[in-house]
Amino acid sequence: MTDYSIEDLQGIARKLRRHVITMISTAGSGHPGGSLSAADIVTALYFRVMRHDPANPKWPDRDRFILSKGHAAPILYAALAECRYFPLEWLTTLRKTGTCLQGHTDSTLTPGVDMSAGSLGQGLSVGIGMALAARLDKKDYRTYVMLGDGECQEGQVWEAAMFAPNYKLDNLTAIVDYNGIQLDGFTNKIMDLEPFVEKWRSFKWEVLQIDGHDMKQVVDALQKSAQIKGKPVVIVARTVKGKGVSFMENNVDYHGKAPGKSEIETALKELA
């Protein structure tokens, strides 16, 4: 998968975004905004950066990916399906009774999912456990954790942020999908995170700042994070909620609202 060019990855990201729209509209519920904002990062991870094997989802030497903002499950399911962890047809079952594709990720049901999610704020702690396990087992896999910006208002995130540098977990990369919107409004109005970069630096993390929709910046930052030694890395990715669909972009309503019938055609046309 590392042979994909930047242009290839951009095309894959558009395809994943189309899957997100189709899945959520079919289900009639879900979280399109944060799934679309994370699409470029998830694409870069699964199709260029991470070491993984769809034919062997529990391969002990695979890199781990933790989607701490578990409500963005549709973008992860889209990537896993395109990687052939499971059939593409499964995407039509999102949120249906008996499905393997729950509204939040479930590692007991879905091939390729490394953490069950639901309550926010827990993923970085789980990722730290995986990074420590790699050290104890003398494995060279990396652990990547995607956090939402609203999620970073949780106290547990900062306990974990204090722990990782203390134990010099340089096999851990956190990625913050900083799209500026959470469930009921703009993050800077609800609980302002700034000065965000300075906070992470004060906790002794290496901080990389990128445009989360510039595929080259995304790939370069993820690859650079693996070269930094002696401390964990956090990538602060500035993104747009609902990226790629004009009426969803920066629109609080589409944090957790499925597009209506009249909107689906417009969305898919814009993502063509």
Is the residue at 38 inside a domain?
yes
Q: Residue 1: its pLDDT value, please? A: 58
Q: 113 lies in which domain range?
A: 6-270
Q: Please give the single-letter amino acid code of residue 108.
A: T
Number of domains the chain contains: 1
pTM: 0.97
Q: What angle do CA 80, 243, 225 make, to 5 degrees?
A: 60
* Closest listed residue to residue 47, CA positions, set 167, 162, 219: 219
Phi, psi at residue 55, to the nearest 5°? -75, -10
Residue 178 domain-assigned? yes
Low-confidence ranges of the chain (pLDDT < 70): 1-2
pLDDT digits (tens, 9 = 90+) for 230-248: 999 999 999 999 999 999 9
Q: Is 1 domain-assigned?
A: no
Q: What is the domain-level CATH number for residue 116? A: 3.40.50.970
How crowded is residue 25: how many other Cβ atoms within 10 Å of its Cβ?
A: 20
Q: Is residue 24 part of a domain?
A: yes
> Cα–Cα distance between 40 and 11 in angstroms, integer?
10
Q: What pLDDT does 2 receive? A: 66
The count of other CB atoms within 10 Å of the CB of residue 99 is: 16
- Domain assignment present for residue 231? The answer is yes
Q: Is residue 18 part of a domain?
A: yes
Residue 80 lies in a domain: yes
Q: pLDDT of 157-186, one tens digit each?
A: 999 999 999 999 999 999 999 999 999 999
CB 180 within 8 A of CB 217: no
Beta-carbon neighbour count of residue 191 at 10 Å?
12
233-238 vs 172-178, strand pairing mode:
parallel
